[in-house]
Amino acid sequence: MNKYVKGNLKHWNETNPIHQRSELYRLKEFKSGKIQTALKPTELEELGDVKGKSLLHLQCHFGMDTLSWAKLGAKVTGIDFSDKAITSARALSKEMKIPARFIQTDIYELPNVLRGKFDIVFTSYGVLCWLPDLKRWGQIVAHYLKRGGTFYIVEGHPILHIFDNAKGVMDFKVRYSYFQGSEPMKWEADGDYADKNAKLVNPSFEWTHKFSDVINALIEAGLKIEFVHEFPFDAYQWSSFTEKLDENRWHVKGDNVPLTFSIKATKPR
């Protein structure tokens, strides 16, 4: 790991317990069965039936989405670089009696620790900004797909990276470049997306990837793009000026700004 990824590992190990007790993740309700899935309508609809299929979840955090796919019949493997998150995911799998395999590894080291191919490779919401090399990411996705297999991602729209979403900002103000510089952006510990009042010690480091970077990484890895969709809503409250649309969606009034996108791609037979 480079120094920035090591810094992010400290950050995610610190936020793991904050996320588990947060109202955003609703972990207690998930464990009790009050909510049946942590997945959002977008990925459920677009990825479709997973019953009986093998599914590799990249950057799975502490496993709620991974186990939600397992509840729908998939044979799941989740990977994450946070040892704290993977320990939590394994404990959650055991407690809920939902079969799953969880592996702690940096995503770029995955080929050294995991063998096999999968029907589906899945990743979602807030994953790409932690990756310094999207070309290598695309190669890893392709490596783990079976011939005819499906890759699916739903993620925050790259255009949002240019706007100031600091606490209290109530309108779009361009503050950052859309294009990645020589170093990642450093974000000082000041609250967390799951708990705005959380007291953190470790900063985080994020890489900016253009929309074309994402699509080209998959194309260059030999995958066929089936669709690219853009949506005027997000699954989370991205900023102070996004409003709650319903239980699963936040938007900007007027629905005139893309907040998320999805891509489905397949590996040629």
> Strand pairing of 54-58 and 224-231?
unpaired
Give the count of domains, the chain: 1
pTM of the model: 0.96
Which one, of 177, 182, 184, 181, lies nearest residue 161 by Cα?
177
Q: Which domain holds residue 127?
A: 3-266
In CATH, what number is assigned to the domain containing residue 166? 3.40.50.150
Q: How many CB atoms lie within 10 A of CB 53?
A: 20
Tokens of 97: 């009696």
Q: Give the dihedral sign, CA 64/67/9/2.
A: negative
Q: Give the dihedral sign, CA 232/71/58/83.
A: positive
pLDDT digits (tens, 9 = 90+) for 37-63: 999 999 999 999 999 999 999 999 999
Residue in the structure block whose two tokens are 């709620």: 64
pLDDT digits (tens, 9 = 90+) for 67-115: 999 999 999 999 999 999 999 999 999 999 999 999 999 999 999 999 9
